[in-house]
Every structure is written in C-alpha cells, then in structure tokens.
Structure 1
Amino acid sequence: MNLQTNSVVHPDKGWRVWWQLSRPHTLTAAFIPVLLGTALAIQNGPIHIPIFIAMLVASLLIQTATNMFNEYFDYARGLDNEESVGIGGAIVRNGVKPKTVLNLGFLLFGISILLGFYIVISSSWWIAVIGLICMAVGYFYTGGPKPIAYTPFGELMSGFFMGVVIIQISYFIQTGSISTISILVSIPVSILIGSIMLANNIRDLDGDQENGRKTLAIIIGRQKAIGLLAAMFIISYSWIIFLILFTETSFWLLITFISIPKALKAVKGFIGKTEPLQMMPAMKATAQTNTIFGFLMAVGLFISYFS
C-alpha cells in the first residue's frame, strides 16, 4: 500500500484530534479495574488516596500509550487509510506525524514509570516487575515482528492483564496481599474487557483477514464470534450470581444487571451486519457494557461496605 501523507490528509491538530487519538472509549477499560480493585480493598481498611490516584493515572497513561502504538503500527503496516472506520487514523486523516505519535506513546510510558516508582516505594518492588510486563504487553500488542493483536490471543491477553492483573495490583497496593475473593471478583470484568477486543475484531474481520491477521474472530468465523460474544456476556452476569451464592459477596452486586440492555444491544447490533460502519453501534455498546457493569460492581461493593 502506498502511504500518502501530503495530498490526501486534512491537517487538523487541535485538541479534538489528540483526544480522539487517545481513543477515549477504551480508557474505561483502564479506569474500571483500578476502581474495582480499590473498592475491594476498602473492605479491609482505609484507602491510601495518593496511591489510588497514582495507580489510576498510571493505568490511564499506559492504556493511552498503547493506543498511540496501535495508531503508529497500524499506519506503518498500511492498515489505516482515510476510509478506515473508527476514531483512529490521526496520521492518515489529520496529518499528525508518525514519529510524533510514537514518541508521545513512549513519553506517556515514561511518566507512568515515574508514577510507578512512587507506587512501589509505598508497596512492593514486585509491582515494578509486573508493571513493566504490562507495559511490554501494551507495546507488543500491535508492535514487534509478531503483534499479539494479529493472533487468536488478543482477547485473552487484554482481558487478563487489564482485568485480573490490574485489579490485583490495585488491591495489593492498598492491602499488601491478594485474596481469593479479589481474584474471583476480577473474572467477569476481565471477560468483558476481552469482549471489547472481540467486538473490535468482529467489526474488522474482513480487513484483518485481507492483511494476514489470524484473530480469534477470523479463525472461528463471524457468526461463531458473535455467539462467543453473547456467551461472554452470559458468563459475566452468571458469575455475579455465583459470587453472591457461594462467597461472602453482597447481593448489592446484582445492580450490575442494570447493564444487561447494553449487552443485548451489542449482540443484536452485530447480527446480520457485514459492513464495519454498520457494526460501530454494537462495538460502542460492548464498551459501554464493560463500563457500566464494572462501575456498578464497584458501587455495589462500596454500598455493601457502608451499609
């Protein structure tokens, strides 16, 4: 593909471009796990607010940097063009220099590392090791010779590191330990984070296949991928019932069921659709399901603590 950067772009470097470049709809996948891990930690004692803020900002910066790398490497591999669907494409549509995007990603990583120093000094140096692994996964998700996003493991890796790992870190830096309940509570949110990636891959299935990707959606096919998305939603809500019945978790977690209409909208929005633009509302609904579900789960934990 001939990557043109002079004649076809529409230079626009206002704040809206940089906001879109951060892909704000994905940032809740970084915010919700930190909030949830902290909501779990409050059950064991007072919360250290500065550490919470540092963890929250670091997670958001790492997610934003990951989005920057995604933008850069999609451009470098010729996957982005003016007709690409989505809010990416700042390089090809808005004339932002590729190196600027790449360097900004590394800058955000650097700031998150500085915040990480404060976090590990206040908790454990093991957090530094785990944090660096998370950053490496963020970079190699679309970077490197064999990007994770090009394999069937994108959903698993994103769900595990952004869900289970971030929740456990957020819990550990407040309590100094990890519990069985903190792991169990992280499962449904991890599944929903993975569902965001699956929804993205369902939308981009045809283009990804043409470009040689081997995502899970490509391997199992569009219809089965939509069925898997529905199953992931069902498991997430069923997990809440399991937590209430078989652990000491409060029945207040049932308020997560308020998000079910969004999950239904997501699945229905993919059925019978083949054009990426047609599937954008479904992808948005998938991300909103994770946001509302996770936020309400944290609210349920806070209510159970104060009630």
Structure 2
Amino acid sequence: MNKKDIQTALNERKGWQVWWRLLRPHTLTAAFVPVFIGTMLAGLDGSFHLGLFLAMLLASILIQAATNMFNEYYDYVRGLDTEQSVGIGGAIVRDGIPPKKVLALALSFFGVAMILGVYICILTTWWIAAIGIASMLCGYLYTGGPYPIAYTPFGEIVSGFFMGTVIIGISYYIQTNMVTAQVILISIPVAILIGAILLANNIRDLEGDQENGRKTLAILFGRKGAIRFLATLFGLAYVLTIIYIAMGLLPLWSLIVLISLAKPKGAVQTFSKNSTPLAMMPAMKYTAQTNTIFGFLLGLSLLFQFIIPVSW
C-alpha cells in the first residue's frame, strides 16, 4: 500500500488532526487512569486537593504525549518508520512535519510538566521532583538514547511500573503525604493493563521490529505465545481485582470493572484471527479501551464507595 492508501485506510486527515494524531490520544488514558485512581483512593481516605489533582493530571498527560513524540522522532531518525508504517502518528513520514519540530514540541511539553511539578513540590515535598525527573527520563529513554528501552524485553514492565504504580503512588501521596501497601497492591492491575497496551503494540509490529533488530517480549514469545501472554495479563488484572475485593482492599462496588470484559476478549480474538498490521489495529483499540474502561470504572467504584459505602 502507498502513502495515500494508508492514510485512507486509517482515516487520516490534514489540518489540526495531524497534531492530534501525533499525541496518539488512545494512549493518553494511560496517564489519566492512574491519576484518577490514586486521587480517588486518597479521597476515600479523606484527602482531596483539586489543584494538586489537576496539576498532576495535566503533567502526566504531557509526559505521556511527549513520550509518544520522542517515539515518533527517534523511530524516524533510526529509519524504522516509513510511509507504510501503521500505528504511528505519521506526522513526519506522511504529513511532512519537520522532525526537529516534533522533538521541540516534545521538549516543550516536558518543560510545562516540570513547571507543574514545581507547583506540586511547593505544596508537598521536593522529593516528588526526583521521582518526576526519573519518570521523564524513562519517557525519553523509551525510544531515545543509545539503548532504547522499547527495543528490549523490558518495555512493558518499565511502562507499567512508571505509568501505573508510580503515578498512582504519587497521586495518592501528594494528597495524603503517605503511601500505603494497599495503594501499591491496587496499582498492580492498572500497571498490568498499561503494560498490555505496549505488548499489543509489539504484537502488531512484530515482523517489522524483528527485521530491525528489536528484542521485544512479542518477538521472544513468538506471535502465538505473545497473544497467549496478553490474554494472561488481561485475566490476571481481573482476577487480582476480585481477590482485592474479597480481601476488603477494594469495595464491593469495584465489581463494576467486569463490565469491561468484552474489550480484552475482542483484543485477543482480533489478534488471533488477523496477521497484518492494518487488520490488527482494532485489537490495539480494544486493548487501549480495556485500560480506559477498566481504570475509569475502578476509580468510579472508589467514588461510589465514598458516596454510598457498601461492605460485605
């Protein structure tokens, strides 16, 4: 398929939508969900500061968007992205946006996130700055630097840990000035589903990544093994949630996350039935929606518990 065919198949349009695609909006929920859950856990424990919540939310979204732009820039520089590449923003290879402009925009997003971080630190502790810098460095090194994390089997673990556990922990801490074992445990299903987004991406890109020398989990497991592992991750996230409910770590309301089960089922089935990157795009969408709907419902269940407490 040529560039025009790819743009038609992906429904890519010109104008402001070029910049919107560059943000890769389907991944931004991986920034919203952890902040929402961490803040709702704090609210359930009686602490909520609107300014801190909004600052943390915007900073997390900016860091995620910047990470996506670094991905776009460095994959182009290394010759991995072409006009036929599926699953990228396409701003550089299909829309002609100068690469340096994409890099500059990513750095400016990091700059705004740092300013928001200063505000958070002033109201809480400057130790947050160290964690924030580590998170931004991780975002840059995911595809930047001499040894990109995305080219190793550790991409899912690193992204899940920083975007899931770390952000939930920080979001809770800035509201309550502490982090509990319960918060860390509750962050695990969210971290798993964020990692699943990266795994789904790597399953779709398996052949191209293999040709370019990457060593992702999808490549190590093989296509069928990676799909089975993705299904295992989905199942583990839901099973852990049910266990936490039974243990009293999560409220009974949290059973509403089961409403989202159709999405991971759709992801696994779509991956199993298709083998081309374009045909697997819906599976990517289902995986991202799993994280979005699951996370939103989990956070909503905590809000429900605050308004209408329910116990066994």
Give the Cα separation in 2 of the matches to 1:46 and 1:83: 49
Give the Cα separation in 1 of the matches to 2:210 and 2:269: 23
- Report the alpha carbon displacement of residue 109 of structure 1 after superposing the two structures with TM: 0.2
**Structure 1 residue 113 corresponds to structure 2 residue 118:** no
Give the Cα separation in 2 of the matches to 1:289 and 1:265: 10
Tell me, what secondary structure is at the counterpart of 1:103? helix
Q: Which residue of 2 aligns with 1:99?
A: 100
* Contact 1:63–1:138 under 8 Å retained in 2: yes
Q: Which residue of 1 aligns with 2:158?
A: 157
* Contact 2:47–2:176 under 8 Å retained in 1: no
Give the Cα separation in 2 of the matches to 1:229 and 1:249: 24
Q: Which residue of 1 aligns with 2:292?
A: 291
1:174-213 to structure 2, matched below 5 A, reads 174-213=175-214
- Report the alpha carbon displacement of residue 13 of structure 1 after superposing the two structures with TM: 6.3
Tell me, what secondary structure is at the counterpart of 1:201? helix
Give the Cα separation in 1 of the matches to 2:249 and 2:204: 39
- Report the alpha carbon displacement of residue 246 of structure 1 after superposing the two structures with TM: 1.3
- Report the alpha carbon displacement of residue 273 of structure 1 after superposing the two structures with TM: 2.0
Q: Which residue of 2 aligns with 1:228?
A: 229
Change (3 A) 1:62 1:281: same
* Contact 2:72–2:88 under 8 Å retained in 1: no
Q: Which residue of 1 aligns with 2:64?
A: 63
Q: Which residue of 2 aligns with 1:217?
A: 218
- Report the alpha carbon displacement of residue 245 of structure 1 after superposing the two structures with TM: 1.1
Tell me, what secondary structure is at the counterpart of 2:189? helix
Q: Which residue of 1 aligns with 2:267?
A: 266
With 266-275 and 50-59 compared, the bigger mean Cα shift is at 266-275
* Contact 1:40–1:182 under 8 Å retained in 2: yes
Give the Cα separation in 1 of the matches to 2:272 and 2:59: 37
Give the Cα separation in 2 of the matches to 1:164 and 1:146: 24
Give the Cα separation in 2 of the matches to 1:279 and 1:300: 32
1:15-26 to structure 2, matched below 5 A, reads 15-26=16-27
Q: For residues 43-88 of structure 1, what are the alpha-carbon distances to aligned partners after superposition, in whole Å with 9 as ceiling and x for unaligned? A: 1214100110000000000001001100000100111111111242
Give the Cα separation in 2 of the matches to 1:229 and 1:46: 36
C-alpha root-mean-square deviation of aligned residues, in Å? Answer: 1.1
Tell me, what secondary structure is at the counterpart of 2:244? helix
Aligned residue identity for 1:104? L
Aligned residue identity for 2:15? G
Q: For residues 140-163 of structure 1, what are the alpha-carbon distances to aligned partners after superposition, in whole Å with 9 as ceiling and x for unaligned? A: 000011100000000000000000
Change (3 A) 1:177 1:267: same
Give the Cα separation in 2 of the matches to 1:13 and 1:100: 17
Change (3 A) 1:248 1:94: closer
Aligned residue identity for 1:213? R
Change (3 A) 1:229 1:107: same
Tell me, what secondary structure is at the counterpart of 2:84? coil
Q: Which residue of 2 aligns with 1:304?
A: 305
Q: Which residue of 2 aligns with 1:52?
A: 53
Tell me, what secondary structure is at the counterpart of 1:144? coil
- Report the alpha carbon displacement of residue 272 of structure 1 after superposing the two structures with TM: 3.4
Give the Cα separation in 2 of the matches to 1:174 and 1:296: 21
Aligned residue identity for 2:138? V
- Report the alpha carbon displacement of residue 105 of structure 1 after superposing the two structures with TM: 0.5
Tell me, what secondary structure is at the counterpart of 2:125? coil
Aligned residue identity for 1:115? L
Q: For residues 71-130 of structure 1, what are the alpha-carbon distances to aligned partners after superposition, in whole Å with 9 as ceiling and x for unaligned? A: 000100111111111242210100100000001100000000000000011111110000
- Report the alpha carbon displacement of residue 305 of structure 1 after superposing the two structures with TM: 1.0
- Report the alpha carbon displacement of residue 247 of structure 1 after superposing the two structures with TM: 2.7
Q: Which residue of 1 aligns with 2:4?
A: none
Give the Cα separation in 2 of the matches to 1:92 and 1:180: 45
Aligned residue identity for 1:26? T
* Contact 1:34–1:55 under 8 Å retained in 2: yes
Give the Cα separation in 2 of the matches to 1:260 and 1:306: 25
**Same amino acid, percent of matched pairs:** 60
Give the Cα separation in 2 of the matches to 1:221 and 1:140: 25
**Structure 1 residue 131 corresponds to structure 2 residue 132:** yes
* Contact 2:260–2:290 under 8 Å retained in 1: yes
Give the Cα separation in 2 of the matches to 1:258 and 1:148: 33
* Contact 1:13–1:96 under 8 Å retained in 2: no
Give the Cα separation in 1 of the matches to 2:128 and 2:169: 10
